[in-house]
Amino acid sequence: MGFLRKAGADKKSDPKRLFVHPSELADKLIKELEDHKSWEGTRAWAPARYAVYLCAEDYDRLSRKLDKVRRDLVRQLYEHVEDMGYELEDDIAVEIVLDEELPLGRFGILTQSLSETPSVASPIPPVTETPRPASAAGNAVAPGSAGVAEGLAGMARLQTPVVHARKEQGPAGVQTAGQVAERVIVVRIGDEVREFRGSRVVIGRGRDVDCRIDDPGVSRRHAAIFLEGDKLMVEDLGSTNGTLVNGYPVTKTVLGPRDVVVVGQRRLRVEVR
């Protein structure tokens, strides 16, 4: 579960400025989709189940149009999937859930991927609030003592899951962790091609990194490209301007053959040989 704090969410802020807007929810849902997609060769699979947790004020304000908000969010997720050429694990389902413990100015998003063991991993550091479970019977759930695992189970009960019988594997050419040392990570920056042996490449503007990029928008230690099992990953290292994948900010995500990584003003394509 990622709990998000809206910009300017402090005690002195105008409460009206802290209300969440559906467009913000759509942007964060698409970011979650990008962070949780998985790869089968050159095919990207996008997760299909999401729960959006709203504070009492936001939930009450949107209560009369929750069905429309939900339909719009589902439509925008489908449009993003189609634009990016991703495959879907199942029909997209978005639940909007009341969490009375969330303060005004925060909302949460929980993503479930059918291709992996359900978890609460999120690129956004969690705060101390406890997420409430989604319910198969309705849109909102009164606060209770159930935990995140039950919330994911509730999401899974919304529809009969269609689990695709497929072997999980990373980008073409990536095999097993035992072969990592023999692989070469290739970083393409425009027409320039850089090759690195080993399982991890640190990108940045500093002199102590593996892949140095002379760009004022790039932090000294900006991001890392590395192999995690059979997957090629990118992770932002707390950079000032963030790391983008296909136009969306990420903290850590799987990379595929067609993904474009942006650090500063530079566009990178990464592959493994």
> pLDDT tens across 81-118, in order?
998 999 887 889 999 999 888 888 888 888 876 544 33
Compute the distance between CA of residue 111 and CA of residue 50 in angstroms, rounded to an integer. Answer: 5
pLDDT of 182? 67
pLDDT of 173? 38
Q: Which two tokens stand for residue 239?
A: 């950079």
C-alpha distance across the termini of the chain, in Å? 35
Looking at mean pLDDT, say which of 16-20, 129-133, 135-139, 234-238 comes out highest: 234-238
Quick one: average pLDDT of 50-71? 92
Percent of the chain with pLDDT over 70: 68
User: Which of the pair, 141 or 67, is modelled with greater confidence?
Assistant: 67
pLDDT of 221? 92
Q: Tell whether pTM > 0.85.
A: no
Compute the distance between CA of residue 181 and CA of residue 186 in angstroms, rounded to an integer. Answer: 14
Q: Which of 30-44, 66-80, 230-244 has the lowest mean pLDDT?
A: 30-44
Question: Which amino acid, residue 199?
Answer: S
Compute the distance between CA of residue 225 and CA of residue 19 in angstroms, rounded to an integer. Answer: 37
Quick one: average pLDDT of 153-176? 35
Q: Helix or strand or coil: residue 8?
A: coil
